[in-house]
């Protein structure tokens, strides 16, 4: 398991914070540079591949725009850990290969804390494990493949079987 650094956010982080409306005519490169700038102006420039977002309830509410998840994938975010997610965001995120962990105790985690993720949950440096709702295999397949389209491509090429 690889360790990850935590970026801590509050509740109700919406899709406009993740993919600001003003930049939606641009490509994902530009949108990503403005990801979360209203909440954390340093985010896009300081986030490192493998970092994890930890947030309060209702992460990803707002619109159905897929770029909200796409910007996090583009920036290399490994996962988002929160007590609850918007249903549309949850669907879009896994389709793009972004792991979301539903963790009732997510808000116990701190900014800059180093954690590791496993199927059992979130492991803290002191040995504590915050349990998360298990993710079904078909969704983990999407995460490992880098998204639904890659799963479908692999299946059509016969490199994996349904």
Sites of contact with its own copies (CB under 8 A): 57-58, 61-64, 84-91, 94, 100, 102, 133-136, 139
Which lies closer to its own copies via its Cβ, residue 33 or residue 154?
154
Q: How far is the CB of 91 from its own copies (least distance, A)?
A: 5
Half-sphere exposure at residue 85, Cβ-oriented, CA atoms within 13 angstroms: 26
Which lies closer to its own copies via its Cβ, residue 10 or residue 41?
10
Q: How far is the CB of 61 from its own copies (least distance, A)?
A: 8
Q: How far is the CB of 20 from its own copies (least distance, A)?
A: 19
CB neighbour class for 45 (10 Å; exposed up to 12, middle 13-18, buried from 19): exposed
Which lies closer to its own copies via its Cβ, residue 40 or residue 91?
91
Q: How far is the CB of 64 from its own copies (least distance, A)?
A: 4
Q: Which two tokens stand for residue 133?
A: 């709702």
Instruction: Give SS3 for 124.
Output: coil
Q: Which two tokens stand for residue 55?
A: 């947030």
Distance, in Å, from the CA atom of 121 to the CA atom of 42, rounded to the nearest integer, reads: 28
Which lies closer to its own copies via its Cβ, residue 48 or residue 153?
153
Which of 138, 158, 159 lies closest to 147 in space, CA to CA?
Answer: 138
């Amino acid at each position: 398991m690889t360790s990850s650094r935590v970026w801590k956010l509050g509740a109700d982080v919406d899709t406009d914070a993740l993919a600001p409306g003003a930049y939606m005519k641009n490509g994902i490169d530009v949108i990503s540079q403005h990801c979360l700038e209203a909440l954390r102006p340093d985010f896009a420039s300081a986030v490192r591949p493998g970092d994890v977002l930890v947030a309060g309830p209702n992460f990803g509410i707002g619109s159905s725009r897929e770029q909200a998840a796409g910007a996090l994938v583009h920036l290399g975010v490994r996962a988002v850990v929160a007590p609850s997610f918007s249903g549309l965001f949850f669907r879009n995120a896994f389709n793009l290969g972004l792991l979301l962990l539903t963790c009732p105790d997510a808000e116990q985690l701190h900014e800059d804390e180093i954690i590791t993720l496993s199927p059992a949950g979130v492991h803290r440096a002191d040995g504590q494990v915050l349990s998360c709702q298990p993710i079904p295999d078909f969704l983990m397949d999407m995460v490992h493949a880098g998204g639904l389209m890659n799963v479908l491509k692999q299946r059509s090429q016969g490199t994996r079987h349904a």
